Each structure stands twice: as C-alpha cells, then as structure tokens.
Amino acid sequence: MSPVPPVPAAGTDPGIRRRLAALVHAVGTHADADTDGSGAEDEQLDPVLAGLDSLAVVRLLVLVEQEFGIALAGRHIVRENFRSLSALSALVETHLRPRGPVPGVGR
C-alpha cells in the first residue's frame, strides 16, 4: 500500500491564491500586486483587503462564490476570513474539499 501524500495546509494552493488575487484586484481600488501565485502578493493585497468597505466585501463575496461555485454561509462572513489573502484562500479551500460520507448514513 502506498503512503498517502500529506494534505497541504489550507490557504496554500497557488492556483486558488492567484484566482483570489485577481478578484481582490477587481474590487480593490489600488491593488497593484503581482498575481503569480507565489505568495509574494500577500503583503501587498492584505492592506487592500483590510481597507475594503462593506459594499466591496459584498462584491468580493459574490465574485468568490461565482468563481469557485461555492456558497458561503453567514457564519463564514467574518472579518477574520477577509483579513488576508491566506485567510480567504483557506476559507475557499475548506469549501472546495470533498466531504467524506456522513457516519451512519447510507449503511
């Protein structure tokens, strides 16, 4: 039996980070960060995320849901999840992970 590869830490997928950076650019008014997915844009985009007003956060939320085909519940729409590109990426990755079977269902 081959070993199971480790699951990367949430918020580290470069493809997701790159797509999210593009969405932040779409709603941010002064986002000049590079979006190569390397993580270098975090320091440049984090202040942009922190400075978004409530309307911009709603626009970003809608764009994220459309881009990734996910629905974020109200309990996920908290400042901590939008404070940095890493936090936002972790939130998206959590919603994209396949969910295992529910114990006791379908037996």
Prediction pTM value: 0.71
Mean pLDDT score, 26-43: 56
Quote the CA–CA distance of 84 and 79 in Å, as a whole number.
10
Residue with tokens 């000049």: 32
- How large a percentage of the chain has pLDDT more than 70? 66
Residue 9 in any domain: the answer is no
CATH number at residue 85: 1.10.1200.10
Quote the CA–CA distance of 89 and 105 in Å, as a whole number.
31
Residue 70 in any domain: the answer is yes
Quote the CA–CA distance of 8 and 99 in Å, as a whole number.
16
Report the domain count for the chain: 1
Which of 16 and 105 is assigned the larger pLDDT? 16
pLDDT greater than 70 at residue 106: no
- How large a percentage of the chain has pLDDT more than 90? 32
pLDDT value for 35 = 46
Quote the CA–CA distance of 71 and 5 in Å, as a whole number.
28
- Which structural domain, as residue segments, surrounds residue 41? 14-95
pLDDT greater than 50 at residue 33: no
DSSP state of 38: S
